[in-house]
Amino acid sequence: GAVVSQHPSRVICKSGTSVKIECRSLDFQATTMFWYRQFPKQSLMLMATSNEGSKATYEQGVEKDKFLINHASLTLSTLTVTSAHPEDSSFYICSARWWRDYNEQFFGPGTRLTVL
């Protein structure tokens, strides 16, 4: 149990386009999902906290208009990178928090975004 999927696993896009990344909890309900970004050879940095049915909470320095997060259901959160630029190229990882254990997070496999 406790499987989190991400789609797509890899995406290459042209500069200026928008890309949507989906994060799904497959066998449990997740009231909260987290989005992280990881640049090569660096650590994971939390971008935002996504709560079902409400607006996402963004970490300091993360542009909310650029990284749109929608948590429309208890099993799906989406991250849309709008007007992507090469500097947005990164590994994006989501995690879902199990409602039964506030301090348990299950991670998705990640999405590698390359902006040309």
Partner 1 sequence: AQKVTQAQTEISVVEKEDVTLDCVYETRDTTYYLFWYKQPPSGELVFLIRRNSFDEQNEISGRYSWNFQKSTSSFNFTITASQVVDSAVYFCALSGLNQGGKLIFGQGTELSVKP
Contacts of 111 (CB under 8 A, 6+ apart): 6, 7, 8, 9, 10, 11, 21, 91, 92, 93
For 70, 81, 85, 100, 104, the CA distances from 21, given in Å and listed in that order, are 10, 8, 16, 26, 22
Over the window 49 to 78, marking each residue x when it contacts partner 1 by CB under 8 A and - when it does not, the resulting string is x-----------------------------
Tokens representing 82 are 């709008």
- Residue 8 vs 109, nearer CB to partner 1: 109
Over the window 15 to 54, marking each residue x when it contacts partner 1 by CB under 8 A and - when it does not, the resulting string is -----------------x-x-------xxxxx--x-----
* Residues in contact with partner 1 by the rule CB under 8 A: 32, 34, 42-46, 49, 91, 93, 95, 97, 102-107, 109-110, 112
